[in-house]
Chains A and B, each alone.
Chain A
Amino acid sequence: MELRAEELTCSRGGREVFRGLSFNLAAGQALLVSGRNGAGKSSLLRVIAGLIRFVSGRLTLEGGAAEATIAEQAHYLGHLDALKPALTVAENLEFWAEFLGTRSAIKPALETVDLVRLANLPAAYLSSGQRRRLSIARLIAVPRPIWLLDEPTSALDAPSQKRLAGLMHDHLAGGGIIVAAAHGPIGLERARELKMDSE
C-alpha cells in the first residue's frame, strides 16, 4: 500500500494555504507534519481526509480497497471529539463503530484506552482527557489503514501519551500509515518529517 501526494495545492477563503506539496508513504511509514500555527497542517490533513478539495495536484492510494475512496479508508482525529454529551460513552463508541465500519465489539477498544469503567456514564461528565481517549478508542474499534491525527496528544497526560505512542507503533507494525500534525514530538521516533512554513 502506498499513499502518494504530488504537487498538492490548497487554498481556503481566497488565500493559498500550501502549494506544491509532495510525499510518498508506504505501509508502516509515518509522516510528522510540523510548522507554526496557520502554516496549513490541519488543512493538509483535511485535504487527505477528503473534507477539503485541493486546487491542483494528485492524491492517490495504491493497494487499498478498490471501490473505496481514501476518506473511507482513513480515520480523522481532529481538534473536535465528535462526541454527543447526551449519549453514554458506550453509545457514542457503538454508533461510530457501526457507522464507520462493521459491527465490531467496542469493549476491547474501551479496555485499550482504560475507559471500561465509565462505559455507561453520559459523555457530558468526561474530562477533556477522557474525551480524547474516547476518540482514540474509535480508531481502535474500527480498523482502517490510514490514520490522520491532528495534535493527538493535546489534553492527554503523560501515561495516556505513552499509551497513544504504543498504539501508533502497533498500527504501523500492522502495515498502517500515519500522517500526524504536531508542534512537538509525539512519540514517533522514526517518522519522516514535513515542515510547513507559512509565507
Chain B
Amino acid sequence: MPVIDLANPTRFLNLVNRALPWLIATTIVLFAIGLFRAMNAPDDYQQGATVKIMFLHVPAAWLGMLGWAVMAISALGTLVWRHPLADVAGKAAAPIGAAFTFICLVTGSLWGRPTWGTYWVWDARLTSMLVLLLLYLGVLALYWTAEDPGRGARTAAVLSLVGAVNLPIIKFSVDWWNTLHQPASVFRIDGSTIDPAILTPLLIMALAFTLLFVTLHLAVMRNEILRRRVRSMRLLQAQEVHA
C-alpha cells in the first residue's frame, strides 16, 4: 500500500486498529525473550549485576534519538511534501521520545553512582542528552501552548529540523571530547567491541523497545486524530446555536 493511501485519516485509523493487537503481542513476546536472555547474560567482572542496567539504558538512549529522527522526517513531510498526517506523526513522536530520553538519563544516573561515584557529571555525552531532553520539552511546550493545531504544527516542524543537528553531536560526542562516559562500542566502523554474550540480548532488547516505540507511536497518532475530530465537532456545535 503506497504511503499516499495512508494520507486518508479514516483509512489510517482502520489500519491502525487492525494492526495494533498484533504489534502489542509481538512486542510482549520480544520483551519476554529479551529479558530472559538479559537476566542470563554474564555479570561484569568489575560492576557485577549493575551492568544489566545497560539493557534498559542503551535502548532508551537509541529510542530517544530515534524519536527526534522521526520528528525531523515528519517535519519534512509537513513542510516540504505537505502530507496530511505528517504533523500528527511528529506530534505523536515527541512525548514518546522525551520519555525514553528521560529514562535514559535516569537509568544512566543510577548506573553512574556506583560506577563513577556521582549521580551526574557535565560531560559531553550526558550534557548533549540533557540538551536533547530540553529540546523535547521545548517542542512539547510549543504544542501545548498553540491554540490552533495547524500553526503549532508548522512551528514545531521547524524546531524539529533545527534540533536534529543535536543528534550527530550526541552520537560522536564521546569520540570528539574526552569524556567520562565510555566510548562507542556497538555502532563502530570496525565492528562492535562487545562480547556476543551481551551483544545479542542487547540487540534483542533494542528490537523489543523499537517495536514498543512503533506501537506507542501509532496509538498516540490515533488519539491525536480522534482529538482533532472532537475539536471540529465542538466548533460545529457552537455554530449551530445561533448568535
Contacts and interface: CB of A to CB of B under 8 A. Distances in A.
Whether A and B touch directly in their complex, counting CB atoms under 8 A apart, is answered as yes
Interface of A: 114-115, 117-118, 121-122, 124-130, 133, 155-157, 160
Most chain A C-beta atoms within 10 Å of own C-beta, residue among B234, B235, B241: B241
Contacts of B239: 127
A157 B242 CA distance: 9
Interface of B: 147, 234-235, 237-239, 241-243
B243 A125 contact: no
A115 B241 contact: yes
Nearest to A123: B238
Contacts of B147: 124
A118 B243 CA distance: 12
A160 B241 CA distance: 12
Nearest to B242: A157
B232 to A, nearest CB: 11
Nearest to A157: B243
Contacts, number: 31
B241 A118 contact: yes
A125 B232 CA distance: 10
Contact of A114 (B235, B237, B238, B241): B241
A89 to B, nearest CB: 10
A125 B238 contact: yes
A121 B237 contact: yes
Contacts of A115: 241
Contacts of A128: 243
B235 A125 contact: yes
A134 to B, nearest CB: 11
Contacts of B242: 157
27 contacts: A114-B241, A115-B241, A117-B237, A117-B241, A118-B237, A118-B238, A118-B241, A121-B234, A121-B238, A122-B234, A124-B147, A125-B234, A125-B235, A125-B237, A125-B238, A126-B238, A127-B238, A128-B243, A129-B243, A130-B238, A130-B241, A130-B243, A133-B243, A155-B243, A156-B243, A157-B242, A157-B243
Contacts of A156: 243
Given A115-B241, A117-B241, 4 more contacts: A114-B241, A118-B241, A122-B234, A124-B147
B177 to A, nearest CB: 45
A184 to B, nearest CB: 19
Nearest to A120: B234
Contacts of A114: 241
Nearest to B147: A124
Nearest to A127: B243
Nearest to B231: A125
A126 B242 CA distance: 10
Most chain B C-beta atoms within 10 Å of own C-beta, residue among A115, A122, A125: A125
Contacts of A130: 238, 241, 243
A92 to B, nearest CB: 14
Contacts of B234: 121-122, 125
A155 B242 CA distance: 12
A90 B230 CA distance: 19
Nearest to A114: B241
A157 B237 CA distance: 19
9 closest cross-chain pairs (CB), A and B: A129-B243, A125-B238, A127-B243, A130-B243, A125-B235, A117-B241, A157-B243, A121-B238, A118-B241
A5 to B, nearest CB: 35
Nearest to A128: B243
Contacts of B243: 127-130, 133, 155-157, 160
Contacts of B237: 117-118, 121, 125
A155 to B, nearest CB: 8
B242 to A, nearest CB: 7
Contacts of A126: 238
Nearest to A133: B243
Most chain A C-beta atoms within 10 Å of own C-beta, residue among B147, B239, B242, B243: B243
